[in-house]
Amino acid sequence: MQTIETIQELKNWVKKTKESGKTIGLVPTMGFLHDGHISLVNKAKAENDRVVMSIFVNPAQFGPNEDFDRYPRDWDRDRQLAEEVGTDVIFAPSVEEMYPRKSQISISAGALADVLCGAKRPGHFDGVLKVVTKLFHLTQADRAYFGQKDAQQLAIIESLVEDYNFPLAIRRGETVREADGLAKSSRNVYLSEAERKEAPHLQQALQLGRQAAIEGRDPVAVVRNYLDGRISGTIDYIELLAYPALTNDIKDEAILALAVQFEKARLIDNLIFNIKGN
């Protein structure tokens, strides 16, 4: 496995790889890898000749009061896990390497960012689009892999690629969970012991909400009522929307999503399903 820290070195590797007729799969991450990331690498390996994993904690997607400096980092462990799973290249640039000057042009996620997490994190998804656009160009990936746990991010990136004719395919990876149903997340390490015991209730509530939605009952009320008294965290939002349009006009595919703020960790989870029960 090769570790690349500069854009020029990455460009050189991409040029040689493309000239040899090899396909490239990209797995963008912010590091502190878990089984969800590993599942994306495995999917990328099955569909491409070479796999590039980026490890870059992107400051552009963190707000002024968010946890950029606190975001968990463990380079040695990340490198070992990436190598064990068969990653060909880790692209691990510095902030200065990725953003050598203040950007003169911005990319807006638009109305897709006005709901769910985007409603409470203005500018967050603009920062996501900024970094993935750079990564798509730099790696010239044939396919890029994103997990469904971050379903709003996935929908926004799919829209970017479709609307602006990026020459790559976006591949979805199913949410990877702990044995008790908690979605794998780098931020889970911030949960206290008591909060960790409460956290599986998020997925259990969503399962009940999905059934309610299919039966024509109010899924938001069902989820909220279930969580009341079972978690110590504060509910940020519970929403049912069309997917991936993220509007209230639900015809078939829907997303039931929530976010809960615990003392030191904000957890998100969702279910994507057919509202007709198909």
Residue 137 marked as a ligand binder: no
3-state secondary structure 167-206: CCEEEEECCCECCCCCECCHHHHHCCHHHHHHCCHHHHHH
- The answer to the question of whether 153 is labelled as a binding residue is yes
Beta carbons within 10 angstroms of residue 50's beta carbon: 22
Residues designated catalytic: 37
Tokens for 210, please give them. Answer: 């999905």
Q: Which two tokens stand for residue 24?
A: 């490239």
Task: Find out whether 184 is annotated in a ligand binding site.
Answer: yes
Q: Has 185 been labeled as part of a binding site?
A: yes
**117 SS3 class:** helix
| 261 is annotated as contributing to ligand binding | no
The annotation status of 61 as a binding-site residue, yes or no, is: yes
- The whole-angstrom separation of Cα 234 and Cα 231 is 8
- Beta strand 253-261 with 266-274: parallel, antiparallel or unpaired? antiparallel
Binding residue per annotation — 54?
no
Find out whether 21 is annotated in a ligand binding site. no
Distances (CA, A) of 185 to 29, 40, 149, 182: 12, 14, 9, 9
Residue 147 is assigned to a ligand binding site: yes
**Known binder of ligand: residue 140?**
no
Give the single-character DSSP code of 141. -
Residues making up the annotated binding site for (R)-pantoate are 61, 153
Which positions make up the binding site? 30-37, 61, 147-150, 153, 176, 184-187
